[in-house]
Structure 1
Amino acid sequence: MAGFLDNFRWPECECFDWGERRNTLASVVAGVLFFTGWWIMIDAAVTYSFTEMHHAFHTCGVFSTVAFFMINAVSNGQVRGDMYGEGCFGRTGARVWLFIGFMMMFGSLIASIWILFGAYVVPKNDVAPGLAVFFQNAFIFFSSGPRPPGWEPLL
């Protein structure tokens, strides 16, 4: 999450060291994004009835959450092959696991866009439930973005 800030020049401040706190800040931002996505969807599920928002539309968020945990279970060292312990499948297994997680994440995001337009925009229904499905998946997608170089999973 904080890797995109590597080339950005921060103003010099003696009171706060960003190098020490970068992983913590990235973890907090990712957690807030994940929480916000689920909060939006829970709010929409409580607000709208079954006729306005079908229960099957929650499937995208569930797959996105599973993909979030799959992506965050693999460390950067396992993907690069820098880890001392190879594990069951080694570097190739970690890469395949990460690839499957990203494919599930992209698939969930695309499915949420399909739900938004197919069930709400084109038939000219109220688009708020469709936007809730989309924003849930978009926030979960952005919460599992690039990780800092020294990142290790908490699992």
Structure 2
Amino acid sequence: MAGFLDNFRWPECECIDWGERRNAVASIVAGVLFFTGWWIMIDAAVTYPSQQMNHAFHTCGVFSTIAFFMINAVSNGQVRGDTYGEGCLGRTGARLWLFIGFMMMFGSLIASIWILFGGYVVGNECFQIFLENIWLCNATEILRFLI
């Protein structure tokens, strides 16, 4: 039962060569997800007054955005040590920077889940905070691992 999908192949589209356009498509998808996440949060800030939604909850999205830039600022060559120059701290510094970025990203995601279930289980405003962080996390992962 474990290998029943081994012989299954998705039919390939002959009209599009995704190999050359993979980076462009991944960048566009990540940009759309990033935009959608912030658009949802801006909508929540405009729709709900500060009595219904505490505006300090925007910090989850801000930290997710900072983590987005931190994670994507490090190239794969720097993490593997394949670059010509060592940089400031070399491979260890690049890995540490990437680790801190992922910690910030998942910490923001966990904080948005805590806000969602801790304070506002019945309201839409905290669901929008959670959606923003999900979209930002997905954009980061797509841009990091598909390019």
Give yes or no for TM over 0.5. Answer: yes
Alignment correspondent of 1:4: none
Unaligned runs of 5+ in 1: 1-7
Aligned equivalents of 1:116, 1:14: Cα separation in 2:
44
Counterpart position of 1:47 = 47
User: Residue 147 of structure 1 aligns with which residue?
Assistant: 145
Q: Give, as a single letter, the amino acid of the residue that structure 2 aligns with 1:42.
A: I
* 1:130 alignment counterpart: 126
Provide, for residues 69-117 of structure 1, a one-character-per-residue CA deviation record: whole Å limited to 9, x for no partner.
Answer: 0001001111011111111111100000000000000000000001111
Cα separation, partners in 2 of 1:83 and 1:132, compared to 1, 3 Å: same
Residue number in structure 2 paired with 1:62 = 62
Question: Which residue identity lines up with residue 53 of structure 2 in the other structure?
Answer: M
Letter paired with 2:46: V
Q: Evaluate the alpha carbon distance shift between residue 81 and residue 142 of structure 1 in structure 2; reply closer, same or farther with a 3 A threshold.
A: same
How many Å separate the matches in 2 of 1:110 and 1:13?
Answer: 39
Deviations 1:97-143 (A, max 9, x none): 0000000000000000011111101xxxx421000100001100111
How far apart, CA to CA, are the structure 1 residues paired with 2:128 and 2:48? 11
Measured in 1, the distance between the counterparts of 2:123 and 2:117 equals 9
CA RMSD of aligned residues (A): 1.4
2-side partners of 1:90 and 1:27: how far apart? 27
Output the CA distance in 1 between the equivalents of 2:9 and 2:33: 24
Percent identity for Structure 1 against Structure 2: 74
AA at the equivalent of 1:128:
N
* 1:2-41 equivalent positions in 2, closer than 5 A: 11-41=11-41
**Which amino acid is 2:137 matched to?**
F
Q: Which amino acid aligns with 2:22?
A: R
| Number of corresponding residues | 138
Q: What amino acid maps onto 1:27 in structure 2?
A: S
Residue in 1 that maps onto 2:92: 92
* CA deviation after TM superposition for structure 1 residue 57, in Å: 0.5
Aligned residue type for 1:13: C
Name the SS for the 2:119 alignment partner.
helix
Q: Given the two structures, how large is their TM-score scaled by the length of structure 1?
A: 0.84
Alignment of 1:102-121 (within 5 A): 102-121=102-121
